[in-house]
Amino acid sequence: MTSYREQRSDKGNDVRPVISIVANFTRPTDTKPSLLSFSEVTTLLHEFGHSLHGMLSKCTYESLSGTSVARDFVELPSQFMENYAFEKEWLSSWAIHYKTCEKIPDAIIEKIRESSTFNEGYACNRQLGFGFLDMAWHTITAPATGKITDLSQQQWQKQSFSRLWKEQI
């Protein structure tokens, strides 16, 4: 999503934003039209959420409109929109076979929903590890000596969740 002009108020007049979505989606071939992968669908919904954020903004100051918000809020509309890709009603209204016009089968929608949580535990632990590493770097009380990679490796080992789980067992 790109905003060419942010929404703002100019002497009491509401100036509407100019926004676009540019994406690198699968190209059509000689025998098949451009068909979006599931990942491309969620990307489109994500960027559309950012677009809505910009288009529905109503602020006085351009510097505070659209996606120019606090970092922890900027992703809310886009991540909200991504959830539609997992909803049966939404998918069955859009996901149709390009030749037969048949709606996506319920069994495939269920598989999509079930697979969406694959590897989530690993991803969560990985993100927590990054947080612990960041805290370690920002709480150093003396100048670091040695290689940066050594300090990072020490912190990763110190915060190893697999080690912590083994100690709990």
Q: Which residues are catalytic?
A: 47
Tally of CA atoms within 13 A in the half-sphere of 101 that contains its CB: 0
Secondary structure class of 156 (helix, strand, coil)? helix
* Phi then psi dihedrals of residue 100, to 5 deg: -95, -15
Element (H, E) at 72: helix 71-74
* Phi then psi dihedrals of residue 90, to 5 deg: -70, -50
Secondary structure class of 14 (helix, strand, coil)? strand
Q: Which amino acid is at 74?
A: V
CA–CA separation, 7 vs 17, rounded Å? 4
DSSP strand pairing (13-15 vs 8-10): antiparallel
